[in-house]
Copies of this chain bind each other. A is one copy, B any other.
Amino acid sequence: MTMTMNTTATGEALRRALDGPFHEIKQRWRNEVDGADVVRDPALSMEEARDWTLERVKDLAARHLVTAGFPAAQGGSGTAAESCAHFEMAALGDLSVTIKSGVQHGLFGGAIVNLGTTYHHETFLPDAITVKLPGAFAMTELGHGSDVQSLETTITYLPETDELEVNSPTSTATKAYLGNAGRDGRMAAVFGQLYVDGEHHGVHVVLVAIRDEDGNDLPGVTTGDQGHKGGLLGVDNGTLSFDHVRVPRLMLLDRYGGIDADGEYHSPISSKNARFFTMLGTLVRGRICVGGGAASATRKALTIAVNYADRRRQFRQPGLGEEILLLDYRTHQRRLLPNVARAYAYGFAQTELALQLQRVTDAAGADPQASRELETRAAGMKALQTRWANDTIQECREACGGAGYMSDNGLTLLRQDADVFATFEGDNTVLLQLVAKALLLDYKASWGDMDMRGTAQKTARLIGSAVMERTTARSVIERLIASADRKPEADRLSARGWHVQMFEFREQHTIEGLARRMRTAAKAEDSFEAINACQPHMLEAAKAHIDRIVLEAFIGGIEQCDDDYIKALLVKVCDLYALATIEANRAWFLEHEVFDPKRSKAITAAVDELCADLRGKSRELVEGLGVPEGWLTHARAAIPPLIG
């Protein structure tokens, strides 16, 4: 309780609004977890960081703070959605701890939960949860990361001994970049191509013990430590390769495909392709968490940078005595405040994504359309949030000048640790292409292969309702649009309905344009080059889609808020998010003659005004981002002059 004693009432209320349904869980972290439990000394060496991180993860597990998403019978304590909320809070503390737990509980444990059956749950989950059994998630290989279907590792059934033989046939089949593989792991969930009786059944997962109690490699297993990295020094990434290693048949995680006692392969899903995507689909939580974790790191960076800018003075007005606060400079407001607004936008959207995960989890495969939609959004939200994180944490570092570069002040550690979020759980460029492909499939499902050229204009509205299923608050948004249409031209800029129209138009138009280009490309002589040329348009369409979903989530979040004062403040923050996003894409809008140069300049002016307006509430706004004060920097580092 002492930790939040300095928070203003407005800050507390904003925090409640942004936490939404997870407020209780998040407050539990804020009240029970001390900075010393989760804030790393940025000067630790790699070995020290690994030791500290492992210990912290065990501690958080013992306190049931990172154990949601597991069956209660095996020691779990909460839903899948709640596990995402816990992940976000851990990431406000330290990203090495978060990712170490993410590897252990989310990936290794998650593979056992989602791809295994009762035997695996009962046998391995209790020790996986307490971290008595540290495990690696051995999917990526040196040769194949994004392209999981092309993994080279083989899992071959040997009927004579009723065993599975795991093998790395080439050097590029070496598993790589795996957390827990470098030092601590004792077991791995190994992805490989399953062969039974000479027949190939596609990628499956098998549990393989990799080290003995003393940490020595088991026979046939070669582990490697990948050592020092650009960040996340507390996570021991490493390599694994297998030389005809045998494990009992039972070790195959067989929920979607297994081998019976007679040595026969059986699966509830007959298509190899469908089975592969179903299996990968169950692992979607990792991608959701990584996006949310990157956003948490960014919230912390913004809190540090805004606090600094609100204390640090430099240069004085000619003739006046007092030096000027950094946050009173227009350029400084521009660097930070639109990002604070975006932090709120992504926060509301992330909560919605977690709730969507819960609905899909509860449906247990009964709603494949919902699963697919979840995967699309998870991929897009991960890509956008991690891109924003890298850009924004860097902006925060620079906005704190030399002080920002001193490790004690916390920003450089965030920057280094968050960096790889753009890569793991799916390279961002590849993920955005997945999003675009899913959008095209939806588009095709609605419109088939008919030539859209002539009908695009007339049917735009219809397409909207088909492709762009609204996320929340449907009736609210319809009302906002109708109300914007009735406003005089001069007031449009501040009308939420107009913002929605802009976001929707961009989404519709980029998807339609992409569909047209792809259709033409498919008929081209060199179809690779023609489709290749569509790539930038795929990224555009994917971003436009996610931007629209985020805006709608923000609108939905505001709708849930029952405090009029806070609601009015959030409306301004949403204005800033919406207009800054339109401004960032104004070249596109101008190219498509959606608005004219005059309007475009007016949008920039409106963003400036909103920054100046919200500057007076900057303290409350960053408090609302929910980072406990004692977690901002390592305790040793609290030397006020260095950051003040």
Contact = CB atoms under 8 A, between A and B. Distances in A.
Interface of A: 42-43, 45-46, 140, 142, 144-147, 150, 171-172, 174, 176-177, 226-231, 237, 314-317, 323-324, 328-332, 334, 390, 394, 397-398, 401-402, 404-408, 411-412, 415-416, 419-420, 422-424, 427-429, 528, 532-533, 535-536, 539, 586-587, 590-593, 597, 600-601, 608, 641-642
B591 A226 contact: no
9 contacts: A230-B405, A230-B411, A398-B427, A401-B423, A402-B423, A402-B424, A404-B423, A536-B608, A593-B597
Within the oligomer, what is the number of copies of this chain?
2
B328 A416 contact: no
Contacts of A412: 229-231, 416, 419
Contacts of A405: 177, 229-231, 419-420, 423
A406 B532 contact: no
Contact of A600 (B533, B591, B608): B591
Contacts of A408: 227-228
Contacts of A402: 140, 145, 176-177, 420, 423-424
A394 B422 CA distance: 10
Given A142-B642, A229-B412, A533-B608, 6 more contacts: A145-B401, A174-B641, A230-B412, A231-B405, A398-B428, A591-B601
Contacts of A532: 328-330
Contacts of A406: 177, 226-230, 237
Contacts of A231: 405, 412
B317 A42 contact: no
Most B-side CB within 10 Å, residue of A146, A150, A330, A415: A330
A509 to B, nearest CB: 13
Contact of A397 (B174, B230, B411, B536): B230
Closest 4 CB pairs of A and B: A230-B412, A43-B228, A587-B587, A590-B590
Nearest to A401: B423
A43 B45 CA distance: 9
A334 B534 CA distance: 12
A228 B535 contact: no
A642 B237 CA distance: 13
Contacts of A397: 230, 419
A interface majority secondary structure:
helix
Nearest to A427: B401
A579 to B, nearest CB: 14
B229 A535 contact: no
Contacts of A329: 532, 535
A144 B314 CA distance: 7
Contacts of A145: 314, 401-402
A536 B601 CA distance: 13
B45 A45 contact: yes
A329 to B, nearest CB: 6
A54 to B, nearest CB: 20
A147 B313 CA distance: 10
Contact of A586 (B331, B415, B587): B587
Most chain B CB neighbours (cut-off 10 Å) among A405, A412, A427, A586: A405
A142 B45 contact: no
Contacts of A423: 398, 401-402, 404-405
Contact of A590 (B176, B422, B597): B597
B407 A227 contact: yes
Given A228-B43, A331-B536, A591-B601, A641 B401 contact: no
A450 B209 CA distance: 82
Contacts of A174: 641
A150 B641 CA distance: 17
Contacts of A140: 402
A407 B228 contact: yes
Contacts of A171: 641
Contacts of A592: 597
A436 to B, nearest CB: 11
A32 B46 CA distance: 34
Contacts of A419: 394, 397, 405, 412, 415
Contact of A398 (B316, B422, B535): B422
Contacts of A390: 394, 398
